[in-house]
Amino acid sequence: MNNQTQIVDALRKRGNKVTPQRLITIEVLLTMGQQHFSVEELFHGVKQRNPEVGMSTIYRTVQILEEMRLITKRNFDDGFARYELCEMDEKHWHHHLICLKCGRVIEMQDEYLEALEKEIEKKGFIIINHELKVYGYCSDCYANMEGEKFD
């Protein structure tokens, strides 16, 4: 499980500075949990705690945390880059169900793909990671689509 101490230790071990601004950024990031956030949303949360923190500090911190695989960038085909916090000991990310009507993103964790991975690895291919996005309609949108033609 990620916590501030683990992230700070990892940053120091990598040789990165741990400034007060970076600490606030990490604190805000940790309060977001598994929420999919944009850099702008993270910036807004940090600005509420310290109005003097600049956007460039947030971008640099996000870039470093992404390089360290502590956060990962997600693209849900809505024109925005989003990020989410990764567990430090997590081998694979969870998967996403994306509603084509409202844009809602539902996280999915399932064991089906682990079985598929094992079969693939038996064939001599070493999997480092994978990502799965499933497009369709959430139950709310589907219920309200009576008579509509599907994309």
Spatial separation of the C-alpha atoms in residues 18 and 111, rounded to whole Å = 37
123 and 73 in a common domain? no
What is residue 150's predicted lDDT score, i.e. its pLDDT? 58
Domain residues for 141? 91-151
Spatial separation of the C-alpha atoms in residues 98 and 35, rounded to whole Å = 15
What is residue 1's predicted lDDT score, i.e. its pLDDT? 45
Provide the CATH number for the domain around residue 41: 1.10.10.10
What is residue 46's predicted lDDT score, i.e. its pLDDT? 96
117 and 65 in a common domain? no
67 and 112 in a common domain? no
- What ranges in 83-149 are assigned the alpha helix state H? 112-122, 139-143
135 and 77 in a common domain? no
84 and 14 in a common domain? yes
DSSP character at residue 1: -
Residue ranges of the annotated binding site are 99, 102, 114, 130, 138, 141
70 and 47 in a common domain? yes
Mean pLDDT confidence for 105-118 = 78
Total structural domains in the chain?
2
46-104 pLDDT tens trace: 999 999 999 999 999 999 999 998 888 887 777 778 888 876 555 555 678 888 888 88
Give the predicted TM-score (pTM) of the model: 0.66
83 and 98 in a common domain? no
96 and 84 in a common domain? no
Residue ranges of the annotated binding site for Fe cation are 114, 130
Within a 10 A sphere around the Cβ of 93, how many other Cβ atoms?
17
pLDDT above 90 covers what percent of the chain?
Answer: 39
Residue at a domain's end among 90, 105, 137: 90
Q: Of the candidates 81, 43, 49, 80, which has an alpha carbon nearest to the alpha carbon of residue 61?
A: 43
Provide the CATH number for the domain around residue 140: 3.30.1490.190
CA angle centred on 80, ends 77 and 84, rounded to 5°: 95
pLDDT above 70 covers what percent of the chain?
Answer: 89
Spatial separation of the C-alpha atoms in residues 33 and 2, rounded to whole Å = 10
37 and 105 in a common domain? no
Residue ranges of the annotated binding site for Zn(2+) are 99, 102, 138, 141
